[in-house]
Amino acid sequence: MNWKFIIFSVVKIAIVIGVVQGMVAYAVLAERKISAWIQDRVGPNRAAPPFVQYIPVVGTFLTRIGFFQPLADGLKFMLKEDFTPAGVRKVYFWLAPAIAIIPAMLVVAVIPFGSQLGHQQMVISDLNVGILYTFGIVSLGVYGIVLAGYAANSKYPFLGGIRSSAQMISYEISMGMSVIPVLLIVGSLNLSQIIGWQAQHGWLVLYSPVSFFIFLIASFAETNRLPFDFPEAEQELVGGYHTEYSSMKFALFFLGEYSNMIASAAMMVTLFFGGWTLPLWGLNHPAATLVAGIAHILIFLVKMLLFMVVFIWVRWMWPRFRYDQLMDLGWRRFVPLALANILVTAIILWMRS
Amino acid sequence: MIVNRKPLTFWERLYLPAIVGGFKVTARHLFRSLFGGKTVTMEYPEQKWAVPPDYRGAPYLVRDQGGNTKCVSCQLCEFVCPPKAIKIIPPGPAGPMADRPNAEKIPLEFEINMLRCIFCGYCQEVCPEEAIFLLKDYSLTGLTRGEMIYNKEKLLALGGEHGGIQKWKHKLQEAKTQEDFPVKV
């Protein structure tokens, strides 16, 4: 029993889950504030615990940027009544939110969020089949939605759940196939080695921009975000697959969606934008000092936050796709494009060798 | 009618110009709101809106310019009020005397339940003494339901002074200035 490994892993898991959930809560706030500014209004700027008004300058500043709003939201979710509608299968009803959020949290287990701090690798588990594990886990996310739509004993959540799951499985295919050129170029599925390759040869987005494009759009579809949130929105007028769920279960769905966004953003940064590396100041190499290690983690976080801002920005910018246009795009345009991309990359690599 | 839709060009079908246009518009609004301060939000309660004249706020009892109360407890407002928010206890033969020289009757108790009031203005319209007016208060709060039943003292205190409209006096003056008026004034 390698106690040292177990203890360090447990500490890393606790820290990563804490950080990810904190980022999810503040991603909700960021979405509300950014969407407000895009729409010429001010987002939440009043929620504050009572003692904050006595802190001179920082207190009012934090209140005005809505820093304490996620605390208020969390409190609301905990204090709301958690009911179970009549006529539902209780097992599925209680299981569905859990299945919706667990894959999102499992994906971050393989993502390297830094190089190393001292002797500790900054990745929870450095799997040699990292990408394959990620796509397997992402496919499990569909089950949560299917179960949620089915378990709520009502028509509209059922339809919303079916549409959403159909959309998700169609875009998983193009997402998986768009990563194959990355594998062909790098030669390994291990995410740390992909980052190492990018540190030496430059970011992968420059080598296969088409594959980044397909992966970006497929991750919008996977997380049910605009412009692909038809299952969530048309029934937003009615409900969607999370209609019948109240406080904590709805919070789990909500957190699951934002955790999926964070996991997709982290995957994009790792696969295409060099992860924790920067091509300047010698930050391309694994950290030798503690300061460099922390700098790597901060670089990763900043890149991921930029992608989150892109996710949020795109939502308030474009109209949403109609459902048949969405499926048409997924099957008839992205799958051939991804296949052609693989073929062209393979031919170029063969001609080079 | 048939609307002529031109087929999309190659670039338009890729949606790329539309995408870039979207980025430009939202970025412009984002930076204007964030750094230019041009948001359309009115931050209540620090900024309040200007109440227009004739706004139907909360109904209060008013005094005239001499400081006399005007209500004579005719109970017309009580009978016309649609949600029955007004409750008046008339003085009866053994009741208290009026506190003013020009009228003999004054209500013993006058209550308006602000939680029932729908701010329709019928009481103001029907009052023959122009004693009740809908003034400019729109945010009424209280901690209990009992607190929101305003009694006579509170209504008079909140009403303040109001000269009244004296609609018929003005109409009479208007009629006298006309050359041709169908009724003998």
Q: Give the other-Cβ count within 10 Å of A236's Cβ.
A: 13
Tokens of A182: 């990355």
Quote ipTM for the complex.
0.76
Q: Which residues in A lie closer than 8 A to residue B25 (C-beta atoms)?
A: 317
pLDDT in tens, B9-24: 888 777 788 888 888 9
DSSP annotation of B161 reads B
Q: Which residue of A has its CA nearest to B35?
A: A37
- Identify each DSSP E strand in A13-140 by its residue range: 116-117, 120-121
Fold of B59-166: Alpha-Beta Plaits (3.30.70)
Q: Which residue of A has its CA nearest to B25?
A: A317
The full length of chain B comes to 185
Q: Which residues in A lie closer than 8 A to residue B13 (C-beta atoms)?
A: none
Q: CB contacts < 8 Å between A and B, how many?
A: 35
CA distances from A211 to A44, A161, A222 (A): 38, 29, 16
pLDDT at residue B1 greater than cutoff 80: yes
Amino acid letter for position A67: F
pLDDT at residue B167 greater than cutoff 80: no
Please name the member of B22, B38, B39 whose beta carbon is closest to the beta carbon of A317.
Answer: B22
A212 and A205 Cβ atoms separated by less than 8 Å: yes
Per DSSP, what are the bridge partners of residue B112?
Answer: B86, B150
- Residue B18 distance to chain A (closest CA, Å): 9
pLDDT at residue B123 greater than cutoff 70: yes
pLDDT of residue B77: 92
Positive or negative: CA dihedral B123, B125, B126, B128: positive
Cα B82 → chain centroid: 16
Mean pLDDT in residue range B25-33: 88
- Residue from B15, B32, B38, B41 to probe the interface with A (highest A Cβ count within 10 Å): B41
Q: Which residue of A has its CA nearest to B22?
A: A317
Tokens of B70: 């005007």
Give chain A's contact residues with B (Cβ, < 8 Å): 34, 36-42, 313, 316-318
Q: Which residue has the tokens 């809505």?
A: A66
Cross-chain Cβ contact A38/B30 below 8 Å:
yes
Positive or negative: CA dihedral A285, A287, A289, A294: positive
Cα B155 → chain centroid: 15
Cross-chain Cβ contact B30/A34 below 8 Å:
yes
pLDDT of residue B93: 84
Domain boundaries, chain B: 12-41, 59-166
Cross-chain Cβ contact B34/A318 below 8 Å:
no
Q: Give the other-Cβ count within 10 Å of B142's Cβ.
A: 12
Q: Give the other-Cβ count within 10 Å of B123's Cβ.
A: 23
pLDDT in tens, A99-149: 888 998 898 888 888 887 777 788 888 888 888 899 999 888 888 888 888
B138 and B98 Cβ atoms separated by less than 8 Å: no
Q: Which region, left, alpha or beta, applies to residue B172 given φ > 0 means left and ψ of -120 to 50 means alpha?
A: alpha
pLDDT per residue, tens digit, chain A (353 aa), is 788 888 988 998 999 999 999 999 999 999 999 988 888 888 888 888 888 777 777 877 888 888 888 888 888 888 888 888 888 888 888 888 888 889 988 988 888 888 877 777 888 888 888 888 999 998 888 888 888 888 877 787 788 788 888 888 899 999 999 999 988 999 888 888 888 888 888 888 888 999 999 999 999 888 887 777 766 665 555 666 667 777 788 888 888 889 988 999 999 999 999 888 888 777 777 777 888 888 888 889 999 999 999 998 888 888 878 888 888 888 999 999 999 999 999 999 999 88
Cross-chain Cβ contact A37/B29 below 8 Å:
yes
Positive or negative: CA dihedral A133, A135, A138, A139: negative
Tokens of A150: 């089915």
Cross-chain Cβ contact B33/A37 below 8 Å:
yes
pLDDT of residue B184: 66
Please name the member of B22, B29, B43 whose beta carbon is closest to the beta carbon of A318.
Answer: B22
A266 and A215 Cβ atoms separated by less than 8 Å: no
